[in-house]
Amino acid sequence: MNHVNVGLVGYGVAGAAFHAPLIAAEPRLSLKSVVTSRAEKLAADHPGARAVPDLDAVLADKEIGLVVIATPNDTHAPFARAALEAGKAVVVDKPFTPTVAEAEGLVALAAEKGLPLGVFHNRRWDDGFLTVRRLLADGALGTPAHYEAHFDRFRPSIKPGWREEGGEGSGLFYDLGPHLVDQALVLFGKPRAVTADLARQRPGVQVDDWFHLVLDYGPLRVILHAGMLTCLPGAVLTVHGTGGSYVKYGLDPQEAVLRAGGRPGPGDWAPTTEHGTLHLPDGGSRVVRTEPGDYPAFYGGVAASLLDGTPMPVPGEDAVAVMRVIDAARRSAAEGRRVEMA
């Protein structure tokens, strides 16, 4: 077998703008079926794929080896469980599940069935994150003392849809928090403790639309922040260390290109124009060229896992660790206290 047929469950923003084009860009994966009522859009976007009515149609197809879950957050656990029970490898969009117990249960089931299980933390391949990871690995910043990542937007109006209308797994923290937490865990591992604040700032909003986390790593502090009323965004990444300070403005352009209908291709298909600056202890500074972002690497890694036996690019165990921090942060915000990580 030199390729894997894929069944995609959901064709909203996540399915249509992220998963489908990235799956289609990977030569060893074939998008065969998509659970969607938007058959005309699917036919226009991916003529080789067929629209099917529900998850059962995907699970009944013996030719499908991978099921990708890109549906509302509260469906992730039951849909992923059904796919694993049907003997399919699974990729789940972030957040993995609304609760730690559900996440742990899926990892245990995948292990029991001997099936690959991955989670779509695509922002491990953001341009700025890749650049910071390189700088830390090279020692250019010395010993890090302060890491700060922002994901700010300006959207005063409440957008219709499940993400902002309440219910389990909704709200800005569940939407963007997993990305920022996952990046921090990749760089620094599990924190000692979490202190968090969640807020509802826009009139009439039913879910949190602002969050601020502080992760305790001993001398190092990690700040993760996002809001929906930031008309003039500041730096997206700031790292201070004994060797200097790195500051970068501007979000990775891959999301904007994908949302606009762009497709991954050879070369730098989503070039960045935002390069960070490294400020040095002697008062000097230098421009640090931003590493190219690489979202296609995720599904390249998935194909390698299914066909070559390598680990998933983001295994379920990593996503469980993210959900444990998310859970601690929610308890911290609800109880107004610092929460130690066991």
pLDDT at position 167: 79
pLDDT at position 165: 80
Q: Are 206 and 165 in contact (CB under 8 A)?
A: yes
Q: Are 7 and 32 in contact (CB under 8 A)?
A: yes
Class of domain 123-294+325-340: alpha beta
Tens digit of each residue's pLDDT, the chain (342 residues): 799 999 999 999 999 999 999 999 999 999 999 999 999 999 999 999 999 999 999 999 999 999 999 999 999 999 999 999 999 999 999 999 999 999 999 999 999 999 999 999 999 999 999 999 999 999 999 999 999 999 999 999 998 888 888 778 899 999 999 999 999 999 999 999 999 999 999 999 999 999 999 999 999 999 999 999 999 999 999 999 999 999 999 999 999 999 999 999 888 899 998 999 999 999 999 999 999 999 999 999 999 999 999 999 999 999 999 999 999 999 999 999 999 998
Compute the CA torsion angle 318, 240, 293, 156 (nearest 10 deg). 90
CA distance 22 to 16: 10
pTM exceeds 0.85 for this model: yes
CA distance 131 to 213: 22
pLDDT at position 265: 87
pLDDT at position 160: 85
At the topology level, CATH places domain 4-121+297-307 in: Rossmann fold (3.40.50)
The H helix count followed by the E strand count for the chain is 11, 15
CA distance 196 to 182: 16
pLDDT at position 3: 95
CA distance 283 to 21: 45
Q: Could you give the residue range(s) of every CATH 3.40.50.720 domain in the chain?
A: 4-121+297-307
Q: Are 303 and 321 in contact (CB under 8 A)?
A: no
Q: Could you give the residue range(s) of every CATH 3.30.360.10 domain in the chain?
A: 123-294+325-340
